[in-house]
Chain A
C-alpha cells in the first residue's frame, strides 16, 4: 500500500515535472531572449558607430578646428567646450551634492518630514525631463539672474543676460545633482557605524567626526558620483540647446560669458541642419564615436570604483 502510493506519487511528480519542464524551459528561454536582445542591440549600436566612425577618427580629427563651413576638419572646439562645461558643472554640483548627501545620511532622522521632502525632491529632480532644465535655465539664470545682474551692475549692457557657458553649466549642474547625491549617499552608508561611534567616544563632536572620519572614507564615493555626473553632463544636449551652445565659433570661449561648442550639440546640428548631411556623414559618426568613448569609459571607471566600494563594505 505504502509503496504503491509512493510509486504513484513519484510517477505523478515526474510527469508533472516533465510537462512543466518544457513549459518552464520555454519561459526561462523567453526571459533569456529578452536579455540577449538588449545586449545584442547595445553591441550592434556600438559596433556600427565604431565601424562607421573609425576612418575619420584620428588625433588630427580631435585636435583641429572645423573647416570649410563645418564640412571638413575636426571637433577640437566642441571637445574643449564640453570639457569646460563639465568642469564648471562639477565645481557647482559636487559640493552641493555631497553636502546634501551628508545631511541625508548623517543628520536627518528616519521620521524627519524635512528629510523625506529632500529625498522626494532629489528623486523628482532625477526624473524631470532635461528640456525643462533648459527652460528653467532660460527663465531663471538668463532672464532673471543674468538680466537682473546686467541692469544692476552693467548699466543695462548685455553681458550676462544672454546664453553663455556659465548658465549652461549651472543648468547642467542641476540636472546632475541627483546623480552625485545618490552615489555619495551610497558610499556614506557603507562606512561602518563602529567607526563613527569610536570617533564620538573619543570625544570628537559630530561635525569633527564627519570631517575627519566619514568624509575621508567616502572620497571614492564622491569620485564615483562626480564621474557619473560628468558622463551624464557630457552627453546631455537638451538643457544647453538655448542656454549657451553655439553652432559654430571661430575661437575657443575666452570667458564664462561666451558661448561654446559642445559635442552632443555638434552631432545634433550636423545630423539635422548641416548644409550637406551626406558628405559630413563620416564626421558625424566620428564625433558620435568620440562622445560615446568619453561617456562609456567614464561610466566604466565609475562602475569599477563602485564595485570596489561594495567589496570593501562586505
Chain B
C-alpha cells in the first residue's frame, strides 16, 4: 500500500504536467501555424497570379493538342468578371455568356452541341469554328444585349495546316509583348507592353519628383525643427492624408484638379500623366513622410548633441549630420513610395486618361499597368490570351513591388546596423 501511494501520486503529477505541456504545445503550434499563413499567402499570391498567366509562356512550346483541350475546356464556360453591364441582372453574374458551341470539327462532319444549363435569361450565341484556310464559313449570330461586347470565340480545327497557322499566330502574340501597340480587343489583338511601361514610368517619375522633396522636407521639419507640441499636431494631420481612400483622391483629381491644371497650363488632353502624377503624389506623400520621419527621429541623440557641441547650428546639424545619417531610411521611404505609385490603380484609372501612347510629353494621356488590369479584366473571357496577358502584367507588378520591398528592407537594415554599431 505504502509503496503504491507515492507512485500513484507521481503518476498523477506527471500526467498533469504532461497534459499542461500538451495544451501548451498545441497552443504554440496553432499560433505559429497561423503565423505561417502570412508567408503562405505571399506564395499563394505569386503562384495563383502567375499560374493564370502561364498560357502565354506555354504557347508555341506545348503541343497543339493540349492547347486545344485547354481552350475548348474554357470555351465551354466562358466567364467574364466584373460588373460592367450585366450586373443589372444580378442572377446573371457579371457577364455569363452561354453559347452553343460547335467546336472541333475533326473532319468537319460531326457537330457537337454543348448546351450548358442556362441560368435565368442568359443570351445564347451560335458560333462556328473560325476558318483559317478560308474554306469554312464563319457564322456568328450574337444577340446583342445591353451593349455588351461579344467577342468571337475561337474553336480550333485539328488539321495540320491550321495547327501551323495557329502556332504562328501565337508566337506573334508572344513577340508582340515587346512592341508599343496595346490593342487587346480587335480582329488581330496586339499586346505590346512598351507604351504601358512608358506610361507607368512617366507617372511614377512625375509623382516622385513632386512627392519626394515635399515629404522629405516636411519630415525634416517635423523631426528636427518643430517643437514637441507642433510635432504632435502636424504628424497626425499629415498621416490623416493616408486615410484618404485612393478613389477619393482619384475623384478629386478627375473633377477638380484636371480642370484647374488645364486652366493654368492650357494643354489639350484634360486627363494626362501630369494630373495623375500630382494625384499619386498626394497618395504617396504620407508613406514617404511617415517612414522618413521615423528614420530621421531614430538617429541617436549622441549624433545631434555632438554636432551641436562642436558649434554647429540646428539647421547645420539637421542637414549635415541627421540627414546623411538617415539616408538609408529615406531611401527606403522613397522606394516604398515608388511601389505605391507603381501599383496605384484607382487614381490611374480615373485621372490619367487611359490612352496607351508612346510619348515623352508629360501632358499627354497615359495608361499604366495597374489601370490596364483594372479597366480590362472585366471585359476579358477566362482562358483568353488577353486574360493571361493581364495576369502576366499582374505578376510583373507583384514581382516588382516584392523586389522593392526586399531591397528597402535589407538595404536599410544592413546600412543602419553598420552605421550605428560602428562596424
List residues of chain A with CB under 8 Å of any chain B CB. Answer: 20, 23-24, 27-28, 30-35, 37-39, 41-42, 45, 48-49, 96, 99-100, 102-104, 107-108, 114-115, 117-118, 120-125, 127-136, 138-140, 142-144, 157-158, 162-164, 174, 177, 181, 205-207, 210, 231, 234-238, 241-243, 245-251, 258-259, 264-265, 267-268, 271-272, 281, 284-285, 288, 291-292, 295-296, 298-300, 303
**B244 to A295, Cβ gap below 8 A?**
yes
Q: Chain B contact residues: over half helix, strand or loop, or mixed?
A: helix
B298 CB to closest chain A CB (Å) equals: 15
Q: Which of B119, B239, B342, B350 contacts A158 (CB 8 A)?
A: B119
User: For window 183-223 of chain B, which residues contact chain A by CB distance below 8 Å?
Assistant: 213-215, 217-218, 220-222
Counting residue pairs across A and B whose Cβ atoms lie within 8 Å, the total is: 303
User: For window 365-423 of chain B, which residues contact chain A by CB distance below 8 Å?
Assistant: 370, 373-374, 377-378, 382, 390-391, 394, 397-398, 401-402, 404-406, 409
Q: Does B14 contact A (CB under 8 A)?
A: no
Question: What are the residues of chain B within 8 A of A299 when measuring CB–CB?
Answer: 240, 243
CA distance A132 to B37 in the complex (A): 18
**B38 to A128, Cβ gap below 8 A?**
no
Supposing A24-B315, A31-B225, A139-B48 touch, asked if A157 and B247 sit within 8 A by C-beta, the answer is: no
**A132 to B398, Cβ gap below 8 A?**
yes
Closest to B117 in A: A157
Chain B interface size range: 35 or more
Q: Does B148 contact A (CB under 8 A)?
A: no
Supposing A121-B42, A132-B394, A295-B245 touch, asked if A104 and B35 sit within 8 A by C-beta, the answer is: yes
Q: Which of A31, A42, A268 contacts B220 (CB 8 A)?
A: A31
Closest to B250 in A: A268
Supposing A143-B382, A248-B87 touch, asked if A236 and B35 sit within 8 A by C-beta, the answer is: no
**A96 to B37, Cβ gap below 8 A?**
yes
B253 CB to closest chain A CB (Å) equals: 10
**A135 to B373, Cβ gap below 8 A?**
yes
**A296 to B243, Cβ gap below 8 A?**
yes
Supposing A162-B93, A268-B346 touch, asked if A103 and B34 sit within 8 A by C-beta, the answer is: yes
**A136 to B48, Cβ gap below 8 A?**
yes
**B377 to A138, Cβ gap below 8 A?**
yes
Supposing A128-B343, A129-B397, A132-B45 touch, asked if A241 and B84 sit within 8 A by C-beta, the answer is: no
CA distance A128 to B45 in the complex (A): 10
The 3 closest A-B pairs by CB, nearest first: A129-B343, A235-B245, A31-B221
Question: What are the residues of chain A within 8 A of B314 when measuring CB–CB?
Answer: 24, 28
Closest to B340 in A: A127
**A163 to B82, Cβ gap below 8 A?**
yes
Supposing A107-B32, A247-B88 touch, asked if A292 and B48 sit within 8 A by C-beta, the answer is: no
**B391 to A268, Cβ gap below 8 A?**
no
Chain B positions 301 through 332: 1 when the CB is less than 8 Å from some CB of chain A, otherwise 0 = 00000000000011110010000000000000
**B38 to A177, Cβ gap below 8 A?**
yes
Q: Which of B44, B119, B234 contacts A39 (CB 8 A)?
A: B234
Question: What are the residues of chain B within 8 A of A298 when measuring CB–CB?
Answer: 243
User: Of the 9-residue stretches B22-30, B105-113, B262-270, which lies at the interface with chain A?
Assistant: B22-30
- Name 29 A/B residue pairs within 8 A (Cβ), A-sorted: A27-B319, A34-B217, A35-B222, A42-B238, A42-B240, A103-B31, A108-B35, A118-B38, A124-B42, A124-B406, A127-B336, A127-B339, A128-B45, A129-B344, A135-B49, A135-B52, A135-B373, A135-B390, A157-B117, A235-B245, A246-B83, A248-B87, A250-B90, A264-B247, A264-B248, A268-B251, A271-B254, A296-B244, A299-B243
CA distance A291 to B251 in the complex (A): 12
B197 CB to closest chain A CB (Å) equals: 15
Question: What are the residues of chain B within 8 A of A267 when measuring CB–CB?
Answer: 247-248, 251
B266 CB to closest chain A CB (Å) equals: 22
Question: What are the residues of chain A within 8 A of B401 when measuring CB–CB?
Answer: 124, 127-129, 132
Question: What are the residues of chain B within 8 A of A271 when measuring CB–CB?
Answer: 251, 254-255, 350
A165 CB to closest chain B CB (Å) equals: 12
Supposing A20-B313, A136-B48, A295-B245 touch, asked if A207 and B398 sit within 8 A by C-beta, the answer is: no
B87 CB to closest chain A CB (Å) equals: 4
Question: What are the residues of chain B within 8 A of A129 when measuring CB–CB?
Answer: 339-340, 342-345, 370, 397-398, 401
**B34 to A100, Cβ gap below 8 A?**
yes
Closest to B217 in A: A34
**A247 to B85, Cβ gap below 8 A?**
yes
Question: What are the residues of chain B within 8 A of A118 when measuring CB–CB?
Answer: 35-36, 38-39
**A34 to B34, Cβ gap below 8 A?**
no
Question: What are the residues of chain B within 8 A of A115 when measuring CB–CB?
Answer: 35
Closest to B52 in A: A139
Max chain B Cβ within 10 angstroms of own Cβ: one of A140, A241, A291? A241
Q: Does B158 contact A (CB under 8 A)?
A: no
**A142 to B313, Cβ gap below 8 A?**
no
Q: Does B133 contact A (CB under 8 A)?
A: no
CA distance A74 to B419 in the complex (A): 58
Max chain B Cβ within 10 angstroms of own Cβ: one of A144, A163, A231, A243? A163
Question: What are the residues of chain B within 8 A of A162 when measuring CB–CB?
Answer: 79, 93-94
Question: What are the residues of chain A within 8 A of B374 when measuring CB–CB?
Answer: 131, 134, 238, 241
Closest to A35 in B: B218
CA distance A115 to B31 in the complex (A): 12
